[in-house]
Amino acid sequence: MKKRVNLLNISLSLLLQIVSAISGLISQRLILYAFGANVNGLVSSISEFLNYITLIEGGIRDVISANLYKPLVEKDWDKTSSILATSNAFYRKIGLVFICYTVMVGVVYPNIVETGFDFLYVFVLTCVLSIGLLLQYMFSVTMTILLSTDMKIYIVSFLSIISTIGNIGLVVLVVKFFPDIILLKAASAALLALQPLVFGYYIKRHYNIDWRAPKDNSLIKQRWNGFAINFAFFIHTSIDVTILTLMNDLKMVSVYIVYYFAVDKISVLIHSITWGIEPTIGQTYARNDIDDLHEKMNLYEFIIFCSIGILFTLMALLITPFVSIYTDGITDTNYYQPIFGMVLVLAEALYLLSLPHFTLANVANKFKKMTVPAYMEAVINIAVSVALIRPFGLVGIAIGTASGALCRMIFHVSLTEKIIPNRRQSIFYRKLLIFMIVTVAGMLICRIAIPFETVTITEWIVHAIVYGIIIVILYFSTSMIFFKREIRHLVNYIRRR
């Protein structure tokens, strides 16, 4: 049954990312055409500033999840209830703080950033953009943590798919009949109000949770152990837009967002592929089954390398032609940034390569050991980005992100060696070297043998298919030569499902 649940988790997670990508493509294209690059940059910039509130929660999400594995496995409902009651109360307090923070952003932002819009317009837009995050903190976060930790990600994914499809319809209707960005974002936020109602109904029927159970305040203290990790993740995902807002302009923010949209969707797709594996790693570690943990980490690494290698190699080859087609007809800023696209893809690939090792450190509750390196990652990212944005613009921002990601990867691989007995770092770096060679060879073959003659939708699709076939053949052939054991385990893993 657990194996079928894993497959369901992965399948619906993948479907969610496909639906989300389609929704994002439609929504952003309509916003760019209806409102322009300046509005698109403004919405993205304000959203990132609002996301700074996530720093207040520290690392509580990872702490709650790590502490839930054992009581859920043992069906200790008293302990589970205590953990969830603590989480629920904490996030409600953050929700109240967030209301005050939203007002502050709404007042300060239009006074420090040249937006081209009046104060009241920016203030109201800020309040509307905050609704979705506020609903999550007040009502949804704790329930989604419970469902995800208990390997029921498929429930969260299914409901998100329904909401995303509904959002596509809303965006099309609003842009066509009531073209106002504030109304559009308000309608999208209203859909999120349904999620906590559905989550609450399901949990009430399937779990014996006492939401008034005594709170475990030690968990709140532990969140500072995970704060550095949360801070580093926030810097990785948000600091680029902040730096561009303060040191460049909103049109460059729009360019960044268009490129990052494509990279982010592939990144989330990678996470979706592995979401069914992560809880398994946690439960295996909780059972202290070292041999099984070695096997699962080998398989996890192999899946990550193949997924990232194939998808991000294709992304590096296709992202700039994609953006050129996607922004065709939009002339208020220059979206042709090929070097930036390549470096941004490399930065995200480096970040994701450490995912198996980051997951292991999380489930092993090694937050204290991750604190100093996480701060180093964040400082490197910020320092390099700020230093290089003036001479290199968007490319400098991407180099800063790549530098921080490389730091993260090196540290987490070394930490795994300390968590799992007899786990050598060379296992990871051997895979890295082999697949790097395959990636470079594949890109050279595609670029030299089959270059783009013209950039059209038809040409892009044809090249994507041909490039995909070439890269997959190279990766499959290499895997058959060097990673027969991992392929055998993967085939057995799929067959058992």
Q: What is the pLDDT of residues 51-84, one digit of tens each?
A: 888 787 766 777 788 788 888 878 888 888 888 8
Tokens matching residue 40: 């698109």
Output the pTM of the full model.
0.79
- Distance, in Å, from the CA atom of 194 to the CA atom of 172, rounded to the nearest integer, reads 20
Dihedral sign of CA atoms 463, 468, 471, 477 in order: negative
Query: Which amino acid would we find at residue 354?
Result: S
- The domain boundary residue, chosen from 173, 200, 224: 224
pLDDT digits (tens, 9 = 90+) for 391-431: 999 999 999 999 999 999 999 999 999 998 888 999 999 99
DSSP state, residue 359: H
Mean pLDDT (the chain) is 87
Mean pLDDT of 341-354: 95
Q: Quick one: 131 and 191 in the same domain? A: yes
- Distance, in Å, from the CA atom of 320 to the CA atom of 316, rounded to the nearest integer, reads 8
Closest CA to 319 of 275, 407, 399, 260: 260
Q: Quick one: 312 and 357 in the same domain? A: yes
Tokens matching residue 158: 């299914």
Q: Quick one: 131 and 260 in the same domain? A: no
Residue holding tokens 């989300």? Answer: 20
Tokens matching residue 86: 């603590």
What distances in angstroms separate CA 106 from CA 31, 36, 113, 114, 122, one per listed residue?
21, 21, 11, 14, 7
Report whether pLDDT(117) > 80: yes
* Domains in the chain, number: 2
Please state which of the ranges 30-39, 182-191, 223-232 shows the lowest mean pLDDT.
223-232
- Distance, in Å, from the CA atom of 304 to the CA atom of 285, rounded to the nearest integer, reads 19
Q: Quick one: 433 and 365 in the same domain? A: yes
Closest CA to 312 of 257, 256, 358, 270: 270
Residues 6+ apart with CB under 8 A from 433: none
Neighbours of 355 (CB within 10 A): 23
Q: Quick one: 183 and 232 in the same domain? A: no
- The domain boundary residue, chosen from 224, 252, 282: 224
Closest CA to 229 of 57, 420, 428: 57
Beta carbons of 255 and 240 less than 8 angstroms apart = no
CA 200 to chain centre: 25
Quote the percentage of the chain above a pLDDT of 70: 96
Q: Quick one: 243 and 124 in the same domain? A: no
- The domain boundary residue, chosen from 224, 254, 283: 224
Q: What pLDDT was estimated at residue 29?
A: 86
Tokens matching residue 205: 């029927």
Q: Quick one: 98 and 233 in the same domain? A: no
pLDDT digits (tens, 9 = 90+) for 135-188: 888 888 889 888 888 878 888 888 989 988 988 888 888 888 888 889 888 888
- Distance, in Å, from the CA atom of 128 to the CA atom of 120, rounded to the nearest integer, reads 12
Closest CA to 244 of 37, 490, 13: 37
Tokens matching residue 342: 């390549």
Residue holding tokens 């006492």? Answer: 210
Q: What pLDDT was estimated at residue 494?
A: 66
Q: Quick one: 4 and 76 in the same domain? A: yes
DSSP state, residue 366: -
Q: What pLDDT was estimated at residue 27?
A: 87
- Distance, in Å, from the CA atom of 333 to the CA atom of 36, rounded to the nearest integer, reads 10
Q: Quick one: 249 and 107 in the same domain? A: no
CA 42 to chain centre: 21
Neighbours of 164 (CB within 10 A): 21
Q: Quick one: 280 and 312 in the same domain? A: yes
* 3-state class (DSSP) for residue 118: coil
Q: What pLDDT was estimated at residue 323?
A: 93
Residues 6+ apart with CB under 8 A from 37: 250, 251, 254, 255, 330, 332, 333
Closest CA to 358 of 269, 401, 297: 297
Closest CA to 280 of 417, 149, 418: 149
Beta carbons of 299 and 493 less than 8 angstroms apart = yes
Report whether pLDDT(3) > 80: no
Q: What pLDDT was estimated at residue 497?
A: 55
Q: Quick one: 344 and 430 in the same domain? A: yes
Closest CA to 262 of 15, 8, 17, 3: 17
Q: Quick one: 212 and 250 in the same domain? A: no
| Residue-range definition of the domain harbouring residue 266 | 226-497
